[in-house]
Amino acid sequence: MTRVKRNKGLYEISLLKLVPYVFVPVILYLLVVVFPIINAGYYSLHNTMNWQHIFAGFYNYRKLVTDSIFWLALRNNFFFMFVSIIFQLGTALLVCVCFVQKKVIGPKFVRGVFFFPSIISSIVISYIWKILYNNQFGLVNGFFTAVGFSFMRQDWLANPHIVLVSIGIPLAWQFIGFYLVILLAGVTNIDPEIFDVAMMDGATGMRLFLFIVLPLLRNTINVSLIICISGSIKIFDVVYGMTLGGPGYASTVLAQYAYSVSFEQANYGYGATVSIAMLIISTVLVTWFNSLSRSRSNAE
């Protein structure tokens, strides 16, 4: 009995030592994630007048439904989501095919070249491309002039018809390497014996990738798609650095609109409402995608 009580006492002491390691992350999560969401929800139910918060109920949410700028910003977010899925993840997948088929010379160097833009600050990238797009001395217009296509010269960031494409190009370029690293990590986790058996059965080249590698990368691709979706809803820095949401509201996105309403117009209540809408939209899209992927897995 004495030995049992002694072991029980040591067990209780060891649990007490773990308390700080358990509660500190929980408290940090509450302070950094949960409390700001609750605070934003509180502000979204108020209007800000002369720095006074006046309770307004669901007025801001009713206003949001009829706000044309909000819907334009949401449409722009969906455009960047399309760019992210097709050009970031799609290009990364194509490059991953080349790696699997061992058609890449100097794979470590190539991987580093693709990954390098993703470690640069988005604000820095936005200013670099802003210089490249400059109407007077930018390299893009200079290139078209040098090859005899002067008619292609544009004010790339001031034309509302092409500004989203102009922003989408550096956005796609920046994160191709990020998704490439994720996909290659998924490939390295595949048992090499699977490749050996598949090649013995005659599966080589594109057939090997389509029927062996791609199904085994499904979970990795799903995670990458979730990152694409959530990242496209909260995109801010590249757009703000290149155009400030202009010309007019042509390139405005939800995060930039929330920032503008909150800090430039000092309407914190409506800015919080836009932020809550971003959270709801992102949660709905990610939940829908997860349920869709699960239903496909169960069907197979």
**Any idea where the domains of the chain sit in the sequence?**
2-44, 68-299
DSSP designation for 248: T
The strand pairing partners of 55, in sequence order, are 46
Q: What is the domain class of 68-299 according to CATH? A: mainly alpha
pLDDT number for residue 210:
75
Q: For residue 162, how many other CB atoms are within 10 A of its CB?
A: 14
Cis peptide before 247 (omega within 30 of 0): yes
> How confident is the model at residue 6, as a pLDDT?
46
What integer pLDDT is reported at residue 7 of this predicted model? Answer: 47
pLDDT at 137: 83
DSSP conformation letters of 249-300: TTT--HHHHHHIIIIIS--HHHHHHHHHHHHHHHHHHHHHHHHHHHHHHHH-
Closest to 152 (Cα-Cα) out of 173, 239, 247, 162: 162
32 phi/psi in degrees, rounded to 5: -90, -30
Q: What is the CA radius of gyration of the chain?
A: 25
- Identity at 51, one-letter amino acid code: W
Q: Give every CB contact of residue 7 below 8 A, 6+ residues apart in sequence.
A: none
Per-residue confidence (pLDDT) for residue 49, from 0 to 100: 66
Per-residue pLDDT tens digits of the chain, which is 300 residues long: 444 444 444 444 555 566 666 677 778 888 888 888 888 888 888 887 666 778 888 889 999 999 999 999 999 999 999 988 899 888 888 888 787 777 777 777 888 888 888 888 888 999 999 999 988 888 888 888 888 888 888 888 988 899 999 999 998 888 888 998 888 888 888 777 776 677 776 666 677 777 777 788 888 888 888 888 888 888 998 999 999 888 889 999 999 999 999 888 888 889 999 999 999 999 999 888 888 877 766 665
**Are the C-beta atoms of residues 117 and 177 closer than 8 Å to each other?**
yes
Spatial neighbors of 16 by CB under 8 A, at least 6 apart, are none
pTM: 0.85
pLDDT of residue 291: 85
Q: Give bridge partners of residue 49 from the DSSP assignment.
A: 52
- 274, 258 in Cβ contact below 8 A? yes
Q: Which pair of tokens denotes residue 28?
A: 């940090």
| Model pLDDT, residue 258 | 92
